Structure 1
Amino acid sequence: MRIGLLTEGGYPYVGGDAGLWCDRLVRGLGQHDFDVYALSRDKRQEDEGWTPLPSQVRRVRTAPLWMAEDDGVGYGRRARRRFTDAYGELAATLCAGSAEAAGLAPTAGAESAVEASATQADRFANALYGLAELAREEGGLVGALRSETAVRALERACRAPRAPRTVREARVPELLTVAAHLERALRPLSLDWYEDDGLGSADLCHAASGGAAALPGLLARHFHGVPLLVTEYGVRLRTHYLAATDAAPAVRALVTAFHGRLAAEIYRRAERITPGNAHARRWQERCGADRAKLHTVHPGMDAAPFTEVGEAPDAADPDTLVWVGRIEPAKDLISLLHAFAQIRKEEPKTRLRIIGAADGAEGAAYLAHCRALAAQLFPDEAEGPHAVGDNPVSFEEIGGPEAPTPAEAYASGAVTVLSSVVEGFPISLVEAMFCARATVSTDVGAVVEVIGGTGLVVPPRNPRALAEACVALLRDPERRARLGAAARARALELFTVEQNVAAFHGIYLEIVARCPVRRVVLEAGGEPLPFAVPAEARVPGRWTDPALRGVVRRGPGWAGQRAPVRASAAVAAMPGAERVR
């Protein structure tokens, strides 16, 4: 089976998001071939290079999402008219989408509202695929999307009589901002990835996230009928909603409407959607995903580094609390420090180890603030305003003398604490569970789903509740041991690399069996050649070397052109990763 793995700002880049998950998936499915199609996030990411790739990665094609040079494509009169019509239709659906979000759309009953929403979804899809077909035939959209024609089409849609007041009052700078955002979001439409020897040769497209990463998968499905699988461990639409809070009202309305329409189209066309947790699943259902398509697949983590600690839980210091993670305001270490001040009143021998690195300038400032607060809360035990020598609170990094590895960090304490106010999938909790540690966590994100009944959960931003839960575990070693053993068993059952790879292997087979790509091969005379592409085409051996001499017809949306068939044996002999921009 040939998988087109679609990523944005992730695998195979060294500094990519979710790169480790993709790498484990690809290495675990050595029986399949992978072509990686990666959108890079910035120049720094490209300069850092790729992670070492396994042999089953046959090809890597990359494109920068952070910049696009003018393609120099000049449209004729007919092409300009097609662009204006398609872009104007897309802009009109965004105005309608902003009206629906604001509750301004006319409502004449539940059925009519559903029909109207479906009509707008179809209009958006037709406009999107119309732009994609135009880009494929004319050589790109970059210049057209940056043109005055695009801005004027957007302005006409916003000034339409039934447009909501928020977008009708948009000024020229706001229209330019929205047009620039749409140009960036629609850059994947201009890529040359959609030929027969590109995504058209895949048996399945697997998008490692929603949004821009899934857009090439939509086009592969449109042009070639390649089925699409979408995995979201963090819902991209939610990220766009949060990022748009500081924008002008008109910009926020139009941008969020675009990403909402795109997410709905991705969910509608995908054969299967795999959220990483129930929190992401609820978001996807709210954004229009069909419940029948949803199948939760928890992230897979390597349990081996934590085996030694997990099998010897009694070696922990019974008077030490451990916090491990990335230091940033969302982790709410301030509440943890205030909670620890109450814990010290109940259990004076207790110590708190905060082990993690600051994330960027904001994280560094937050770490400095936390250090100052620790010195203020425990003034008699610190040697200076920022000293940690005799302070019961220590700030350390992985790789230091006391905690050279994550496993040793968790091993140093009897209870692991998570105090976040915002959390997606809590990786640090799973690592602590592998180490058979009892945990105290705040009820955010997927925490309750991960913990189950193997730890204590308290409300976020509640230092008193956090302190009471920690004291309860510190005073009851038998309960700690019982919860830790249950936590390790749960983590080994649900959150290992093996279960993740096995789940996706089954989903791949299910999708390809139900939705095979039907490639029509023609004889020299132009007639279809039966059984020209057998089911065994991906199996090495004599079945993969047929002497095919014909032409293959491209998928729907292409102007009936023909291209030579490439035997799968030739594909299998392709060199490893090659950068194609």
Structure 2
Amino acid sequence: MRIGLLTDGGYPYATGESRLWCDRLVRGLSQHEFDLFALSRSAEQEAQGWVQLPAQVSRVRTASLWTADEDILGTHASKGLLARMVTGGGGRSYGRRERRRFTAYFTALATSVCTTGATGGEDDAAGASGGAGSGERSEDGRTGRRAAGAADAQFTDGLYGLAELAREHGGLPAALRSETAVRVLEAACRAPGTGRTVQTATVPDFLALARELDRVLRPLSLDWYDEESLGAVDLCHATSGGAAALPGLLAKRFFGVPLLVTEHGVQLRAHYLAAIDTSLSAPVRALLANFYGRLATEVYRQAAIVTPGNTHARRWQERCGAEREKLRTVHPGMESGRFTALGESGDSGPDDTLVWVGRIEPAKDLIALLHAFAEVRKSEPDARLRIIGAPAQGPEGATYLAHCRVLAAQLFPDEATDAHAVGDNPVSFEDIGGAEVPDLSEAYAAGGVVVLSSVVEGFPISLVEAMFCGRATVSTDVGAVVEVIGGTGLVVPPRNPRALADACLALLRDPERRARLGAAARARALELFTVEQNVAAFRGIYLELISHAPVRREADTVNADGEPRPFATPPEAHVQGPWTASGPAPAGAADRTARWAAEPRTVCAGARGAGGDDV
């Protein structure tokens, strides 16, 4: 079958864990043909180039979410970035009728975004609570859900109306930056029923919001929505929510192509975390949070199947309205081969050494780790801590590393912390690739206990790598850590150096326990977190989706060589009468998609995740 793979800031560009996951998936499903539709996030990302693509990637279309309007036309037109701009394309601006349509659609979208309670989650909770006053709260909850439902309908009307306008008349960026758009945003923010924070927005806030909406809605203006592009695929697979899923929504809207959404980290949560460090004002942050919340709700509503990478992401998706019967937990697959020698050696590691491996940044909370190690040294004076990794890109990572070095020098004033004299220091900061740590497996071999001290974590990749290596671990209870560990390591509360120190001491003093936990951790990782189990799960999901929702397009029955295209004309098309056991024969792909969504579905063969989730 032909898969439209939708990415945002990952594959085929040369950086990022999402790029690695996509590459493993595409190479593992060599029997399918992939069309890649990729959004890039920065000039630096594009400058690093693409990874070498396998033969089953037949076509790549790229678009930038970071360029200015004039750059789009001048620099990236050869990549098929935009079909036509509002002031470009056919060399004309919107006419009066198109301007009226834009105003109507954008007003609907802006009104929904300015409505408080983006996902209705608080209202649901209030309506479900009992006790004194529960009747009033239930009524308030029903009222809130009705309001949220009406706002969601406004959002979809506005979103798809803008998409149809962009497709018919050439792009949205100039219109989204226009005075009309700013006036619409101002009127929506001043309307009754908006939140107190939103009502304080000023003209600079409206301009900033228009700029941000232009960026996130830029996929609506691409030239991907025709019978030769997304209309030619059998299935769209969005590898994240947010902007990457927008082309999938439109492919389903315009051509009835079923949509599969995979989120290893929920985009809405990522937006909330990123908003903390942004320079945007409080009203703009609140409005963007509402926008992303409503977009997430629509993505989950339209997706045929949603595959969270862990139950932590799954809970977020359910909170945003994802139906449980659509959710299939599929853990991300990771390469285990390079850790085989260490994992099968049975060596539990040095009895006196803790090791931390990862990207050095504030979310990893190395400050708490250093304070915990100071407590460890009081009981075990010969203990050592090896911090192995590079700082995160940008000035923040370098600043945080410098701060950690200064703190280590203060906590251990009588001993140097020079990274180049590893043997004599209680704390060392090292990079992978040097003489002491030539590769990643050697990093995990350097310690008897692997420590994760994060305060924010999605799917803990370094923890899974330590499990492949057969290492005992001590981790903080954040993100998907408990789900990944599953009883094969020690877990303590975050931001608690005393608890972290006690757990580390317990394992350092007990080599037999470390060996037992390490063996159990390796067995669990090989069962749940390998590339093979991930590819097998998606192979089954792809076949299930296409068997329930075959896309039939007369214009796409043959390929470029004149040969019949698989699944272009499904076998059911030659059978008279209904295609399923009940109901009239479907009129088109959209009808078939709606029908199969209500039917019971089987789970592909594979392992079982934590909490009984199917993978």
TM-score range, shorter chain: 0.7 to 0.9
In structure 1, list runs of 5 or more residues that go unmatched.
Answer: 524-531, 540-552, 557-581
The 8 Å contact of residues 41 and 65 in structure 1, kept in 2 or not, is answered as yes
User: What letter corresponds to residue 468 of structure 1 in structure 2?
Assistant: D
The aligned counterpart of 1:116 is 147
Structure 1 runs of 4+ aligned residues shifted over 6 Å read 99-107, 383-387, 553-556
* Aligned-partner Cα distance in 2 for 1:107–1:251: 31
2:237 pairs with 1:206 = yes
Which sits farther off after the overlay, 238-247 or 168-177? 238-247
Which sits farther off after the overlay, 196-205 or 389-398? 389-398
The aligned counterpart of 1:27 is 27
* Aligned-partner Cα distance in 2 for 1:104–1:156: 25
User: What letter corresponds to residue 152 of structure 1 in structure 2?
Assistant: R
Q: How does 1:438-517 map to 2 (within 5 A)?
A: 438-517=472-551
The aligned counterpart of 2:266 is 235
2:253 pairs with 1:222 = yes
User: What letter corresponds to residue 232 of structure 1 in structure 2?
Assistant: E
Which of 462, 487, 495 aligns to 1:428? It is: 462
**CA distance 1:164–1:479, change in 2 (3 Å):** closer
**CA distance 1:5–1:522, change in 2 (3 Å):** closer
Deviations 1:324-361 (A, max 9, x none): 01111111111111111221222222211111111132
* Aligned-partner Cα distance in 2 for 1:9–1:94: 25
The aligned counterpart of 2:82 is none
Deviation at 1:554, TM superposition (A): 11
3-state SS of paired residue (1:381): coil
User: What letter corresponds to residue 23 of structure 1 in structure 2?
Assistant: D
Which of 52, 70, 84 aligns to 2:103? It is: 84
* Aligned-partner Cα distance in 2 for 1:166–1:371: 41
Deviations 1:370-426 (A, max 9, x none): 222222222223288997662211111100111111111111221111111111111
* Aligned-partner Cα distance in 2 for 1:317–1:355: 16
The aligned counterpart of 2:390 is 357
Deviations 1:93-145 (A, max 9, x none): 11114588797999954444333322221221111110000111101112111
3-state SS of paired residue (2:5): strand
The aligned counterpart of 2:61 is 61
The 8 Å contact of residues 158 and 167 in structure 1, kept in 2 or not, is answered as yes
In structure 2, list runs of 5 or more residues that go unmatched.
Answer: 71-84, 125-136, 558-562, 571-586, 591-615
Deviation at 1:538, TM superposition (A): 9.4
* Paired-residue identity, %: 67
Deviation at 1:150, TM superposition (A): 1.0
* Aligned-partner Cα distance in 2 for 1:448–1:412: 24
* Aligned-partner Cα distance in 1 for 2:355–2:44: 34
The 8 Å contact of residues 151 and 175 in structure 1, kept in 2 or not, is answered as yes
2:307 pairs with 1:307 = no
The 8 Å contact of residues 436 and 484 in structure 1, kept in 2 or not, is answered as yes
**CA distance 1:259–1:212, change in 2 (3 Å):** same
Greater relative CO, 1 or 2 (CA 8 Å, sep 6+)? 1
* Aligned-partner Cα distance in 1 for 2:123–2:54: 52
Deviations 1:508-554 (A, max 9, x none): 1111111222324699xxxxxxxx97865599xxxxxxxxxxxxx99
* Aligned-partner Cα distance in 2 for 1:99–1:261: 6
Deviations 1:285-304 (A, max 9, x none): 11111111111111100000
The 8 Å contact of residues 223 and 555 in structure 1, kept in 2 or not, is answered as no
The 8 Å contact of residues 123 and 141 in structure 2, kept in 1 or not, is answered as no
**CA distance 1:168–1:500, change in 2 (3 Å):** same
2:327 pairs with 1:297 = no
Q: How does 1:254-269 map to 2 (within 5 A)?
A: 254-269=287-302
2:200 pairs with 1:181 = no
* Aligned-partner Cα distance in 2 for 1:424–1:266: 21
Deviations 1:425-471 (A, max 9, x none): 11111111001011111111111100011000111111111111111
User: What letter corresponds to residue 38 of structure 1 in structure 2?
Assistant: A
**CA distance 1:503–1:201, change in 2 (3 Å):** same
Which of 305, 311, 318 aligns to 1:278? It is: 311
**CA distance 1:486–1:17, change in 2 (3 Å):** closer
User: What letter corresponds to residue 251 of structure 1 in structure 2?
Assistant: V
Which of 349, 358, 365 aligns to 1:332? It is: 365
3-state SS of paired residue (1:21): helix
**CA distance 1:100–1:364, change in 2 (3 Å):** closer
* Aligned-partner Cα distance in 2 for 1:102–1:221: 26
The 8 Å contact of residues 433 and 439 in structure 2, kept in 1 or not, is answered as yes
The aligned counterpart of 1:50 is 50
3-state SS of paired residue (1:289): coil
**CA distance 1:156–1:107, change in 2 (3 Å):** farther
- How many residue pairs match? The answer is 535
The 8 Å contact of residues 348 and 514 in structure 2, kept in 1 or not, is answered as no
TM-score (norm 1): 0.87
User: What letter corresponds to residue 14 of structure 1 in structure 2?
Assistant: A
Which of 162, 186, 191 aligns to 1:155? It is: 186
The 8 Å contact of residues 38 and 61 in structure 1, kept in 2 or not, is answered as yes
The 8 Å contact of residues 38 and 60 in structure 1, kept in 2 or not, is answered as yes
User: What letter corresponds to residue 148 of structure 2 in structure 1?
Assistant: S
**CA distance 1:99–1:537, change in 2 (3 Å):** closer
**CA distance 1:235–1:207, change in 2 (3 Å):** same
The 8 Å contact of residues 154 and 175 in structure 1, kept in 2 or not, is answered as yes
* Aligned-partner Cα distance in 1 for 2:438–2:238: 35
Which sits farther off after the overlay, 57-66 or 248-257? 248-257
* Aligned-partner Cα distance in 2 for 1:327–1:136: 44
CA RMSD, aligned part only?
2.6
Which sits farther off after the overlay, 337-346 or 399-408? 337-346
The aligned counterpart of 2:380 is 347
The 8 Å contact of residues 232 and 556 in structure 2, kept in 1 or not, is answered as no
3-state SS of paired residue (2:356): strand
**CA distance 1:97–1:192, change in 2 (3 Å):** farther
* Aligned-partner Cα distance in 2 for 1:145–1:100: 24
Deviation at 1:362, TM superposition (A): 1.4
* Aligned-partner Cα distance in 2 for 1:511–1:206: 11
Deviation at 1:321, TM superposition (A): 1.2
The 8 Å contact of residues 451 and 474 in structure 2, kept in 1 or not, is answered as yes
The 8 Å contact of residues 112 and 155 in structure 2, kept in 1 or not, is answered as yes
TM-score (norm 2): 0.83
